[in-house]
Chains A and B, each alone.
Chain A
């Protein structure tokens, strides 16, 4: 596994353009050795111990990117180190035993990597995927950081906020004039953003020793702010040249003026402008004068701002009054910090402090701003005849002109505008209101077909001013005032020409009412969207049950709580009752919902409760299809049999599954069909020919890829309603959420492209808050997610939740298992006494090994280490473990994995970090005591410690305190529950603040399951009867033994 780093190297000389140095840490390198001598703090840098070489890096990540052609470079980086060398960055998953006792110190290391010029690196930086295919690599914090900064550069370039400048640099003896593009960052929140970005720079970015004598870069490049600015300005300059070169202006070569030379140098790779110093000085004098206006409105901290105040309120309708336009200085960081001209003129000091920031010469700043502003808005001129101008007064007409025409100009020039509080507010503007009312007085019954798609709702578009709707007559009366601003009972209203026209179009159009379906109503009602005739939809009001319905939809706690289904075995916890009632609400309305509870909260049971409820109420009028991963089909079967025995369930899996007519026939007596994603894909045609009552997807993240065949197949199933169960509705990308929602409620989140444009891109790439809010409003009603730490849930939960994880043997395992049973049982029948006992014990051991992994049975684990292909895909248990870990690790939780077999522990320790992308450690009988303590400390206290802790049951089962774990996995079973409980208690003991989930892995149909049943049935007596060893098994009769070990699928 790799962590890719990107390191910004600012230009060192004036005519350089900087570069980005890419390097990578790799957990495939050998475990760093422990260094015993004097700490290498200030010695000449040694080679980094686990960085990839340039060639390796090229081979691993360069595919299709310009990195393939990048030059090999070295960098000297100071990194935090211990006696085992540089400390890996937290993203690196490794299974090394590293020194954690030596206090960390900074030491220089030589790192090999690939260097790309800024121009080439820029595109690589913004387009490098966050994770490589199969988690081959992840981007380090520094790469992510520079990627963010590069996004900001793209914003600047897209907004064309760059200015060409001529810069004079005193390079030693002679002056040089350089033509450059510079970013202009004077937008609304630019100052705050830059400050935030600078503060967020990971220190590693500043740790390169650039000079031969081992010192850092020159001073300004050595602060986050300086380094960030160098990046932004250099990249703006480089990309303007790169992307602008194809359209560079052509000149008449007969004239060769310094101005031309400057323009040419703005596009050439050489920044130096060729002309005499006197000429360039003259050019610079002119350009400086030209640029002065950029600063006239303010600087990065403050700006001159104009505040418009409306006349005092009057009763009745009027257009008259005296408006004042006040002059102020406003903080850019916090626009609410405003100092009025009045206050500024009173100050005697040449500098002031506003909001903790110093402003020099506030009076002159105000005057300079006013001087510039008066050229953009001449009415200001009159106030400048005073010695201390503070404000001007405006008529209603002029106030409107100011806001409509002058304000945008002034804003663009960098001034602040503080409009009256009501300006552009809903109350002051014409808007369109959507009025939704039910078609039928009473709430429709769900038996009327798919409610979500029936046109149940009457809608009417209305013209509105704030909260009140207005008729055409009222509107005409307002327009007759012939003023763009009208005061009605103290409330000012804006009547723009365009708005009046749009309103007239609206009133004139023939159809302002009709019917829509519930999903459309939800779309408007939840995120009041869009425009009608270019007027914003400002409000949605609903009547009667539609109103209730919309409220129920968006407030999960409003849903009516149902009784637990009578036919259900066992007792639902209160939050599970809530969950199943919520599902019933969606089922009733034919809407698709996502139950996204944390793992362990019982999604399966809640779904089963829903089906039972339907069966009891007679609304289960067809078969339900449940699709889940292959490994949990049997699990579902068992849970269904256990909790909902009245449901007639059929497993549709394996080569003997029913086909064609026999299948359809069987459906008439079946309530629930359980199948896997793989089978659903294969039997697409058959399944699509059925009219399902419902389709339920378990682990619905399986359809996260909208293009995958199985997603398309499932989308085309016919069903009354749809339900998705998943602990992780979004694993990596928002498109996954779209894919699931599109399965549940097609069209609700628009087309894929539209979704990506509206939400995917703005949110994921650019952190658009508005888009995030809108998406949340649209989607959250359809998702119910409870987490274990939720106080409503926590009180309902036992502190320890035990669950059995039924795993299906792979075909290879099943074959091995059966052959072994056949072979050994034959021998057992023929032997007696000690020999028989020995045989039985050996067989039990072999069968357990087979259930774990064929490699363990074959004693070939050692040769398989590091060879993925030999390990993966051969064990059902391992596959299940990977699925579980994915969820646990993604949630940032820590897990203990117990196994009885040291060899299996080695295998997991070797395989999992690589496969999962998270680090692990393994404690076994051979681990020396000091190292044990170290591991425990690492796991318990180190924020960067491994999330996976593998322990052999014998070595780790007692004595340790591992309360950081919130999951305990028993990969194989110990036949004595007491021993397992003791191990479990490593995590579950005093000091544990989390609930602990215990996962007991069982291979279905094998002796593991059988023994589990025996233990379960004996429960409390187990310990007394079973003792602490497996000896009792050897005393079973051959018949009993055969029953026990026989594979039953």
Chain B
């Protein structure tokens, strides 16, 4: 997450005003007729011409029809599908699958992406959501703090199943539901908004929602820390005054800072130039000889426990980590046991001396 926040957008200035997505694709189609996919105006008449091939782009993780795996990511995709015409949608997904999206970053609550179209210079896409007001946030956090499940799930990287009910109770909607809530913009010459570049970005964004449910909250104006702190205050019944300053993050950073400074000092500074006898003694031999330091070299009860525990990452796509790495884990485990228990013959007694 922080990676994304740190990244500065390219020297292009953010476009000042994002246009609301239009919600009636039918009207476009009736105006201009169905667009050929890939259609810049130049391409018209010369037959179908795709976007420029590009390497190093981000590909949609799932290549099968359904992208994003979690319900909230799917829900996000659907909220866009309502406002983009079918062909642009299809082209957009194709773009996403082909890796035409070159980068995607968060910038001040907006999503900024670069998408390679048919022109040499990639287009810049911006997507944002209408932020909630402070009052709306306060209501929402109050409702969310009523059930531990919301915090528990979010902290685990999951969007709670019934969170939309909680939003409804607070009188707001998590996903863009009305015209004007989803703001998109693209530097391409396509007159339609959202265009296929926006759609492609939208799909990739779906994958990111999979990874981090707080992303959509950030688009609504609150960071993870703000939400977590807000929830705690409501839970404790403290008046909810939420500022970034009183989040624990600051304290935590401070703590780590001093810790590393201490380490530095212990390491570099006051190693005395003159040792007394005792320090000399410890120089070569630490006080604890570790004679009874317990080590148990044995195979795990179940094979590759870590992968079993974590399941498969989304990024694996059609692969499975346990299939790819299972043999490795077992081979290494065996090698370690062999070295540990057989290799000892090196220091076994010599036969029959004298």
Residues of A whose CB lies within 8 Å of any CB of B are: 41, 79-80, 87, 89-91, 103-106, 123, 126-130, 133, 140-142, 145, 148, 151-152, 154-155, 157-164, 168, 184, 189, 193, 196-197, 199-204, 206, 215-216, 219-220, 222-223, 225-226, 239-240, 243-244, 246-249, 257-260, 263, 266-267, 275-279, 281-294, 296, 345, 348, 350-351, 358, 360-361, 363-364, 367-368, 370-372, 374-375, 381, 383-389, 412-413, 678, 704-709, 733, 735, 757, 761-762, 765-769, 772, 942-944
Contact = CB atoms under 8 A, between A and B. Distances in A.
B332 A193 contact: no
Interface string B287-300: 11111111111111
Contacts of B252: 360
A151 B252 CA distance: 34
B340 to A, nearest CB: 5
A635 B228 CA distance: 84
B156 A87 contact: no
B290 A145 contact: yes
B340 A765 contact: yes
Given A89-B284, A219-B264, A257-B59, A767 B309 contact: no
Given A247-B328, A358-B255, 5 more contacts: A105-B274, A196-B293, A277-B103, A371-B158, A767-B290
B288 A243 contact: no
A387 B295 contact: no
19 contacts: A87-B280, A90-B281, A140-B284, A141-B285, A151-B340, A155-B297, A158-B333, A189-B294, A200-B288, A202-B285, A246-B331, A263-B324, A282-B207, A286-B211, A287-B315, A360-B248, A387-B146, A412-B309, A761-B344
B283 to A, nearest CB: 5
Contacts of A769: 292, 294
B104 A767 contact: no
B332 to A, nearest CB: 4
B335 to A, nearest CB: 4
Contacts of B287: 200
A283 B315 contact: yes
A279 B286 contact: no
A289 B210 contact: yes
A90 B284 contact: yes
| 7 cross-chain pairs, A with B, having the tightest CB-CB distances, nearest first | A276-B56, A371-B152, A222-B267, A290-B313, A129-B347, A286-B315, A384-B149
User: Secondary structure at chain B's binding surface: helix, strand, loop or mixed?
Assistant: helix
Contacts of B321: 164
Contact of B148 (A152, A276, A370): A370
A155 B340 CA distance: 9
B56 A160 contact: no
B148 A388 contact: yes
Contacts of A709: 352
Contact of B61 (A162, A286, A372, A375): A286
Interface in B220-269: 228, 232, 235-236, 238, 248, 251-252, 255, 260, 263-264, 266-268
B332 A279 contact: no
Interface of B: 3-4, 55-59, 61, 99, 101-104, 145-149, 151-158, 204, 207-208, 210-212, 228, 232, 235-236, 238, 248, 251-252, 255, 260, 263-264, 266-268, 271-277, 279-300, 302-306, 308-317, 319, 321, 323-325, 327-333, 335-337, 339-341, 343-344, 346-354
B300 A159 contact: yes
Given A152-B295, A769-B294, A200 B286 contact: yes
Contacts, number: 364
A360 B254 CA distance: 13
Given A155-B296, A286-B61, A348-B236, A129 B346 contact: yes
A80 B275 contact: yes
B313 A766 contact: no
A528 B64 CA distance: 61
Nearest to A288: B211
Nearest to A677: B354
A766 B251 contact: no
Contacts of A345: 235
Given A161-B305, A286-B314, A364-B228, A220 B283 contact: no
Contact of A160 (B281, B282, B289, B306): B306
A291 B310 contact: yes
Nearest to A240: B332
A869 B182 CA distance: 93
Contacts of B296: 155, 762, 766, 768
A148 B145 contact: no
Contacts of A389: 148
Contacts of B309: 293-294, 412-413
Contacts of B255: 358
A106 B333 contact: no
B57 A279 contact: yes
Contact of A278 (B103, B146, B333): B103
A188 B228 CA distance: 29
Given A155-B296, A388-B148, A290 B310 contact: yes
Contacts of A767: 290-295
Contacts of B329: 160, 162, 244
A677 to B, nearest CB: 9
Contact of B349 (A162, A240, A363, A707): A707
Given A103-B274, A126-B343, A161 B306 contact: yes
Nearest to A760: B344
B297 A766 contact: yes
A766 B336 CA distance: 14
B317 A259 contact: yes
A278 B298 contact: no
A296 B306 contact: no
B152 A257 contact: no
Contacts of A202: 282-286
Contacts of B4: 281
B295 A368 contact: no
Nearest to A382: B149
Given A200-B286, A259-B315, A276-B56, A943 B148 contact: no
A159 B57 contact: no
B273 to A, nearest CB: 5
A412 B332 contact: no
Given A240-B328, A388-B148, A361 B316 contact: no
A222 B260 CA distance: 11
Contacts of A216: 267-268
A364 B151 contact: yes
A129 to B, nearest CB: 4
Nearest to A141: B285
Nearest to B313: A290
B50 to A, nearest CB: 19
